[in-house]
């Protein structure tokens, strides 16, 4: 039987190498292209014939717009409006990739740390640049929380600096670990069904238990797919808020 981690193998469709760097068109690239196409069709199709009284499709598109718009408004404030397209794209790209991984025989792009770390580093560097552009060296006030007694300052500043630089790691590893653990768990329980079913009639009847658990796990995984995309978006908003208003 295949091992539970075999699902994370990266298949190469078109082998390519540019200047010693492997840039093959892999299953990751293909899923990203497919998800981008699906999202484009979804959002363009929903707003193609906009009406005052929306159709069901248009309603879903409008709801997803308001959902992210509220998220940005509540967490970043009025100045965050110009970053709405970025958060919107980020949320739906990650959500699309997470959900695409739930299709049987498909592949979860977000269960690869390389992909997550690239996105998280992009957010981290972008937020840092925005902070320095907006406030100059005043951005460093982020590391000096107000209302802390003077003798505790050295300790607090060190902790704040460490927690700032650990952000891209925690952001990417959170998504990666959630997707990887969930998919391994589902494969392990699926393996139980096969091995119990092979052990005669009693085993086959008892295999109903792991099957039920697997059905419930599928539901949980879809919830986690939404939640982790939401967490990624909301943390990006919180970091953006720090860049906008560094003195807290």
Partner 1 sequence: MELEAAKMIGAGLATIALAGIGAGLGNVFGSYLTGAMRNPAAADKQRPTMMLAFALVEATGLFALLIAFLILFG
The contact set with partner 1 (CB under 8 A) reads: 173-174, 177-178, 181, 224, 227-228, 230-231, 234
In the complex, the smallest distance separating the C-beta of residue 232 from partner 1, rounded to whole angstroms, is 10
Q: Cβ neighbours of residue 97 under 8 Å, at least 6 residues apart? A: 31, 32, 35, 108, 109, 110
In the complex, the smallest distance separating the C-beta of residue 20 from partner 1, rounded to whole angstroms, is 26
Q: Which is nearer to partner 1, 32 or 234 (CB)?
A: 234
Q: Which is nearer to partner 1, 86 or 230 (CB)?
A: 230
In the complex, the smallest distance separating the C-beta of residue 30 from partner 1, rounded to whole angstroms, is 27
Longest CA–CA separation in the chain, Å: 72
Q: Which is nearer to partner 1, 204 or 238 (CB)?
A: 238
Q: Which is nearer to partner 1, 33 or 227 (CB)?
A: 227
DSSP string, 117-151: HHHHHHHHHHHHHHHHHHHGGGGGGGGS-TT--GG
Distances in whole angstroms, Cα of residue 85 to Cα of each of 81, 233, 241? 8, 12, 16
Kindly tell me the sign of the dihedral angle through the C-alpha atoms of 179, 110, 89, 76: positive
């Amino acid at each position: 039987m295949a091992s539970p981690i075999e699902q994370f193998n990266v298949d190469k469709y078109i082998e390519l190498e540019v200047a010693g760097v492997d840039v093959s068109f892999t299953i990751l690239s293909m899923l990203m292209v497919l998800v981008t196409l699906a999202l484009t069709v979804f959002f363009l199709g929903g707003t193609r014939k906009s009406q005052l009284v929306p159709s069901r499709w248009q309603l879903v598109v409008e709801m997803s717009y308001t959902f992210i718009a509220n998220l940005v408004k509540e967490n970043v404030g009025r100045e965050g409006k110009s970053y709405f397209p970025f958060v919107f794209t980020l949320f739906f790209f990650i959500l699309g990739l997470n959900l695409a991984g739930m299709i049987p025989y498909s592949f979860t792009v977000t269960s690869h740390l390389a992909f997550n770390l690239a996105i998280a580093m992009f957010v981290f560097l972008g937020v840092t640049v925005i902070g320095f552009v907006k406030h100059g060296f005043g951005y460093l006030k982020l590391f000096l929380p107000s209302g802390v007694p003077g003798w505790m300052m050295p300790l607090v500043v060190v902790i704040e600096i460490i927690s700032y630089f650990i952000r891209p790691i925690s952001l990417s590893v959170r998504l990666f670990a959630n997707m990887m653990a969930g998919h391994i768990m589902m494969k392990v329980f699926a393996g139980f069904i096969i091995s119990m079913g092979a052990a005669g009639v009693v085993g086959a009847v008892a295999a109903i238990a792991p099957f039920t658990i697997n059905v419930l796990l599928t539901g949980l995984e879809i919830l986690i797919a939404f939640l982790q995309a939401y967490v990624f978006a909301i943390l990006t908003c919180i970091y953006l808020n720090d860049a906008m208003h560094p003195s807290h």
